[in-house]
Amino acid sequence: MQLKNTILLLFVIGLGTTVTAQKYSSINKKEITKEWESATFSSKKTFAENISEVPEFEILSKLLKNESLRLAIEKEEMVTIFAFTDATLLKLSKKKRDSILSKTKQMNAMVKYLAVPGRVDSYSLRSAINKANGTTYLKTLDGQKLGVKEVEGQLQIIDADNRKAIVIASDFNHKNGFFHIIEGLIFPSAEE
């Protein structure tokens, strides 16, 4: 009887070690890099680290200095982010831009609205759009729906008020997922 218990104990320990090792085996994966403009983004860095020194993302990078916002994104095991560039905001009139940027709470809500749990690459988005016959909806970090459709070969994301942003570059890796670069502003419901 004692021999059976010893064998059973060794089996359980061995099985537990194997399962744990499989879960964390991806930690030592090879680094994946991809360039955009003058920046190189890396799968070994968090999203905030990837954009922190890229001039086109100064505003978004500044927003991610808010610890609660940054942690909301980083705590997700996998997350896909639609990242807006500074150029998107600079296209607005100074008055409108200043109005939007002065509302920190709304800007943080917008960043959460542009983040989707899971690793969603452009191929997955196109497949989901085809299955949905035109527009697919993703659940965002803040629990709202974000529409995605393809128009003339370009992916577009759409908010509840039908504002659109175009995906201008896609499939950049970060430590816990993907990010896509967008042009255009969209907002969560009841925010602007």
Residue 9: predicted pLDDT: 60
Q: Cα dihedral angle (153, 159, 163, 164), rounded to 10 degrees?
A: -20
43: tokens are 């799968």
Q: In terms of pLDDT, which residue wins out, 10 or 179?
A: 179
Q: Do β-strands 177-183 and 79-84 pair in parallel, antiparallel, or remain unpaired?
A: parallel
> Read out DSSP for 75-121?
TSSSEEEEEEPHHHHHTS-HHHHHHHHT-HHHHHHHHHHTEEES---
In this predicted model, what pLDDT tens digit does every residue of 69-113 receive, in sequence order?
A: 888 888 889 999 999 999 998 988 899 888 888 888 888 899 999
In this predicted model, what pLDDT tens digit does every residue of 121-174 receive, in sequence order?
A: 999 999 999 999 999 999 999 899 999 999 999 999 999 999 999 999 999 999
Q: Report the alpha-carbon angle 51-99-169, nearest 5.
A: 30
Say whether pTM exceeds 0.85.
no
CB-based contact 43:32 (threshold 8 Å): yes
